[in-house]
Structures are given as structure tokens and as C-alpha cells.
Amino acid sequence: MIKEFFRKQKAKGELIKAFRAAKIYKEVKRDKKTIKIYPSIKSVRFLESRTEHVFIMPYGIDPKDVQKNIVFFQQVLGKNIDITTDNIKKVILNVNHSNIPKELKYNYETISELVQDMKIGIVAGVGMNGEYVVFDAIEFGEVNFLVAGEQGSGKSTMLRNILTTLICTKKPNELHLYLADLKLSEFHIFDNIEHLQHPICETPSELYKVTQILMREVKKRGKLLKQYRIAHVDDLPENAKVPYIGLFIDEIIMLIGEKDILKDLVQIVALGRALGIITCFSLQRPSYDILDTKIRGLLSVRMGFRTTDVQNSKIIGTIGSEKISAETRGRYLLKRSNIQELQAPYITQQEAEKLLKPYKVKEIIEENPPLDQQEEQIEDEIEWGFLDNESEQKR
């Protein structure tokens, strides 16, 4: 008990130091002296993953000032802090203990449970507080992903992990997939998966065929929304429901100069949210040529794996990615409404292949076609003159 008391006093002292550094106090004159009134600390709780401080601002001081001056709090309390406020006077400040694992094994039981009630569940990884970060791309309207980072930083593995989860948890009539593997190195494990609507594209010209298919789908779905006067395909009546669509492209740098494809992609990405289309592109070197501001602005979820320099991190939108060490593969910064550091679940090709096996299209080997087909075949053959009626009789 006494130990706990001193621990709390120490934490309160640190917090007051941070108030002082951030100049969060009110000055009042009393007996010719100026005294500082700091926020009143209501509680300090030591939780497993964080230390939570709750305090009330003095009258006349905006609680938003705490967030605005977060850097001064970080100087005293460490960089892993988060702040929430009721925007009137109460502030909760958490000092998170870094519980990001160095490696996170992809565990299908855990992951499938996390996404089981989601439309398109994305298990992004484990964050600062040691907990999984999971979100529903459709529910949150966060459907366009850019996965970027230097060679060997974990981009393709991230795509593999997201795709494997989606394939194993969504039925082929709930999710249609289109994949492009322009480096010819990654997606072969997804060959013949039931959800695929087109063979995996290996060249830009094959991908162009797919973007054409998707553009037709975009138009069709757009018409449906208009016809039913709705804003999202999820609101279509039962008899007009459409599946979600996923377009995954590993290494879009290979599309440089492919104006027609890029033009289509911009449209698909721009309209995808209402139409139930998610897109996920990986990119090793984020150059402006491929990531012009039009498409960059639309790819709202950014996964910034290790980069070579801050310039690259800036283009990706995840400043700090350049500080990720080369040893911690699969470590990245996830940018959604804020930026958080995560460890991505790691699934090897062999493990993914094992999980994917039941979802491969089965080859149908029939030595003798069923009877009704045999009859049809005979009729066809007579029609085409391969058999005369006599040999027909002999059968």
C-alpha cells in the first residue's frame, strides 16, 4: 500500500513537470506573488498496458491545449502517450508501455475470431498496448490501402496475410477477388482460389483486361445505387445484393507509364467506397510519378514499412518509417485517422498454402459424362453429321 502511494506520488510529480514544460497552468496573483494553478489530478491508475492519468483543467484553460502541446508531454513522459478529452475540462492521458511484440505469428483461430462479425475485416497487427488492431474496411469506409516500404520490409507478406484471412473467412459469393502479381513472385499460392474471377494477372496488359471488367462493374453498381436511391451497395435489397470486390496489386511501380490502367485505377479507387470495392496496392519506391496526388489522396489507409529515408516516408505519409530498424521485419506505421506503430501478423507461404487448400477450385475428372449429357452429346453429333443414324442404333 505504501509502495503504491509513493508510486502514485511519483507519477503525479512527473505529470506536474509535464504541465510546467507544456505551460499548462493558470497564473493568479496572491499577496503580490504570482502562483501557478495546475490541472487537478483526479486519479492515477497503473494498468497492465498503460498508466492512466485523469485530470481536470483549471477554469479558463482549454483542454485541447494538452493535445496541442503533446510534444512537451512526450519529452517528460515518453513518446508513447495518448490523450483524450471531453473538450470541456476533463483529460485522460495514457502513458502506454510498449508491448509491441518483435514478431507476431499469424494464428488463424485468433484472427478468424477477430473478424468473424465484420464485412471486410482487416487484422492490421498488434500495437503499443499489446492488443490487436482490427477494423472493418467497409464499415469504416477505409477501403483503399497503400502498402509501401523498402525491399524486404514485409509488404507482400502483409498482402498475403490480409488475402488469406479474407479467403478463409468470406464465401466466394460474398467476395470476388482480382489479383495482379507484376513481379511474378508472390501470388502463385492464390492460383485457382474459388474467389478469383480472373486468372492472376502477370502483365500490365492482363491487368488492363481486369480494370476494364471492373470499370463495367463500377458503372453497373453506380446504376443500381441510382435505381434504388441508396448511397451504398450494402443497402441493396436482398434480391439485388452484390458481392464485395477486392483488387490487390503487388508492386504498382510496374505500372509506370501505363496511362490507361492508371486512369481506370483512379476511377475504381475513387468510387470504390460506395460500391463495395476495396483496393490494396504495394509499392517499393514511392515516387511521385506513380503516386500522383490524385491517387495518393484516395489511398487513405497507409501502411508504411521501413523506408530508406524520411523523404520516402513523407510521400507515403508515415513519417517515422525511416526509423524502423531493418531487423524488425513486419514492423510498420499504420496511418488512418492517426498514426500507430504495429507489428504485422506473419504467415509463411507454406502456412498460407495449407490454410488455402480447401478453397481451391476442384478439378472435375469424370471418365464418363452423366447420362443426360451423353444423350445431348449424341444429339449434337447427329446434328453435326459425325454419326449416321445406323451407327446411332448400334450404340
Ligand X SMILES: Nc1ncnc2c1ncn2[C@@H]1O[C@H](COP(=O)(O)OP(=O)(O)OP(=O)(O)O)[C@@H](O)[C@H]1O
Tell me which residues touch ligand X (CB under 6 A). 103, 149, 151-157, 284, 329-330, 344, 346
Least distance from ligand X to the Cβ atom of residue 192, Å: 22
Q: Are strands 301-305 and 331-335 parallel, antiparallel or unpaired?
A: antiparallel
Size of site (CB under 5 A) for Mg ion = 2
Q: Which does 344 bind (CB under 5 to 8 A by kind): ligand X, Mg ion, none?
A: ligand X
Check binding of 156 to Mg ion (CB under 5 A).
yes
Residue 152 C-beta: closest distance to Mg ion, Å: 8
Give the span between the Cα atoms of 248 and 273, in whole angstroms: 15
350 binds, among ligand X, Mg ion, none (CB under 5 to 8 A by kind): none
Of 53 and 155, CB closest to Mg ion = 155
DSSP string, 272-338: HHHHTEEEEEEESS--TTTS-HHHHHH--EEEEE--SSHHHHHHHT-TTGGGS-TTSTTEEEEESSS
Helix-strand-coil split of the chain, %, nearest 5:
40, 25, 35
Please give the distance of CA 180 from its chain centroid, rounded to a whole number: 18
List the single partner that 300 binds among ligand X, Mg ion, none, CB under 5 to 8 Å by kind: none
The residue with its CB nearest to ligand X is 330
* Residue keyed to cell 515516387: 287
Comparison of 156 and 343: residue with beta carbon closer to Mg ion: 156
Q: Which is nearer to ligand X, 69 or 99 (CB)?
A: 99
| Shortest separation between residue 223's beta carbon and ligand X, angstroms | 38
From Mg ion, ligand X, none, interface partner of 284 (C-beta below 5 to 8 A by class): ligand X
Contact (Cβ atoms closer than 8 angstroms) between residue 120 and residue 136: yes
Q: How far is CA 186 from CA 88, 158, 215, 257, in A?
A: 51, 11, 25, 23
Cβ of residue 332: shortest distance to Mg ion, in angstroms?
13
Q: Return the H-helix or E-strand segment holding 107.
A: none
In angstroms, give the least distance from the CB of 327 to ligand X.
10
CB 358, min distance to Mg ion, A: 26
C-alpha cell at 308: 530508406
153 binds, among Mg ion, ligand X, none (CB under 5 to 8 A by kind): ligand X
277, 271 contact by CB (below 8 A): yes
Nearer to ligand X by Cβ, of 94 and 157: the residue is: 157
Cell numbers standing for residue 67: 493535445
Q: How far is the CB of 186 from ligand X (least distance, A)?
A: 7
Per partner kind, with CB cut-offs from 5 to 8 A, the member of ligand X, Mg ion, none near residue 169 is none
Chain residue whose CB lies nearest Mg ion: 156
Residues 6+ apart with CB under 8 A from 13: none
Chain positions contacting Mg ion, by CB under 5 A = 155-156
